[in-house]
């Protein structure tokens, strides 16, 4: 009797499991068919919820490619003043910041040696300008290659910098640039390349260039200031441009999502050209007037509906 009762219980448990699994299978089948029905009835993403995005039109604009390099503000005409004889400095007549004229005696050198007597030798400035440096003091011993003063004409200033070899072919006279100064944060000064060295420095692999400020030089700019130069190396005008943030790199390809009049997103593969900090040129895949997703594109798939916000 016990054996029959045990068999009955086991049979009941097995039947219960079969019923449960059958119910789950039927439910799964119904859900799959309902999903397929929704997709087939919706068509073109009508059954999917819309993704909130921001959009922007493709416009024709000018785009510039630039390189950032560091430099220094210098006086246009800056020379070192050397003595004509070796000896001891017995007199210095000027300090840094003083103005001197061409031919002015700025220091005196005693060329005598023990047991010999010579008349003091004057050191004269070869240009007019402002004393920028005074590297020697009274009592120092100098030679004919020791600079006594450095004199510069501060009425005209330039920015000297060195362009890396890979950009050296783009450096040419008349090239536009922007100058940013550590001493004047938040301000931008326009400049252009005025001088390009014809040779490459074999040690630093750079080309020395000098830029002059456009218009009158701001009186706040001083020789010796540290400068950052944004040098324009390439310019394209009237080309289709889009924000850099709108482009997605996927498996080595660049894609964007265009939005049509039905507010449906379509995946577009594009070819890119010049780029800067904010914009990128589109060579192929879009035309001026197309509307693309600029924010929210990372959550989109081809054919998704979108809801556009300002």
Q: Is residue 32 part of a domain?
A: no
Considering 125, 153, 181, which residue would you say is the last residue of a domain? 153
- Domain count within the chain: 3
Return mean pLDDT, the chain: 86
**Lowest pLDDT segment from 4-18, 28-42, 249-263:** 28-42
Residue-wise pLDDT for 207-246, tens only, equals 999 999 988 778 899 888 999 999 888 888 999 999 999 9
Asked if 302 and 275 sit in the same domain, the reply is: yes
Beta partners for 257?
A: 267
The mean pLDDT of 158-187, rounded to a whole number, is 91
Q: State the Cα–Cα distance between residues 36 and 29, nearest whole angstrom.
A: 11
Per the domain annotation, does 136 fall within a domain? yes
158 or 23, higher pLDDT: 158
Q: What percent of the chain has pLDDT over 70?
A: 85
Residue 132 belongs to domain spanning: 78-153
pLDDT at 41: 43
In the structure encoding, which two tokens stand for residue 96, read together? 């840094």
Q: Note the pLDDT of residue 13.
A: 60
Domain end position, chosen among 92, 119, 153: 153
The number of beta carbons lying within 10 Å of the beta carbon of residue 246 is 21
Please say if the pLDDT value at position 35 is more than 50: no
Retrieve residue 285's tokens: 């895949």
CATH number at residue 243: 2.40.420.20
Q: What is the pLDDT of residue 154?
A: 83
What own/partner pairs with CB < 8 Å and gap ≥ 24 does 270-276 have? 272/247, 273/63, 273/236, 273/239, 274/63, 274/64, 274/65, 274/234, 274/236, 274/239, 275/63, 275/65, 275/244, 276/63, 276/64, 276/65, 276/66
**pLDDT digit string, tens, across residues 120-142:** 899 999 999 899 899 999 999 99
Residue 11 or residue 120, greater confidence: 120
In this prediction the pTM is 0.55
Q: Average pLDDT for residues 170-185, to the nearest whole number?
A: 91
Q: What is the pLDDT of residue 8?
A: 64
> Does 160 share its domain with 232?
yes
């Amino acid at each position: 009797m016990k054996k029959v009762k045990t068999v009955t219980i086991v049979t009941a448990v097995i039947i219960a499991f079969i019923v449960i699994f059958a119910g789950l299978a039927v439910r799964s089948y119904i859900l799959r068919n309902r999903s397929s029905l929704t997709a087939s009835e919706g068509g073109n993403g009508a059954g999917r919820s819309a993704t909130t995005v921001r959009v922007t039109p493709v416009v024709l604009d000018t785009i510039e490619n630039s390189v950032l390099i560091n430099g220094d503000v210098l006086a246009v005409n800056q020379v070192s003043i050397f003595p004509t004889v070796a000896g001891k400095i017995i007199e210095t007549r000027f300090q840094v910041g003083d103005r001197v004229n061409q031919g002015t005696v700025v220091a005196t050198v005693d060329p005598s040696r023990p047991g010999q007597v010579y008349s003091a030798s004057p050191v004269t400035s070869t240009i007019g300008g402002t004393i920028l440096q005074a590297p020697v003091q009274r009592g120092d011993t100098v030679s004919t290659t020791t600079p006594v003063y450095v004199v510069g004409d501060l009425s005209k200033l330039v920015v000297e910098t060195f362009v890396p070899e890979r950009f050296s072919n783009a450096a040419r006279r008349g090239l536009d640039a922007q100058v940013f100064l550590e001493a004047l944060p938040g301000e931008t000064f326009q400049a252009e390349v005025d001088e390009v060295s014809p040779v490459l420095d074999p040690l630093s692999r750079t080309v020395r260039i000098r830029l002059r400020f456009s218009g009158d030089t701001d009186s706040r700019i001083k020789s010796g200031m540290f400068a950052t130069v944004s040098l324009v190396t390439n310019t394209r005008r009237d080309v289709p441009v889009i924000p850099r943030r709108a482009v997605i790199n996927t498996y080595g390809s660049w894609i964007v999502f265009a939005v049509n009049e039905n507010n449906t997103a379509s995946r577009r593969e594009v070819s890119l050209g010049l780029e800067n900090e904010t914009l990128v040129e589109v060579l192929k895949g879009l035309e001026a007037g197309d509307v693309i997703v600029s924010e929210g594109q990372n959550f989109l798939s081809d054919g998704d509906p979108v809801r556009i916000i300002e």
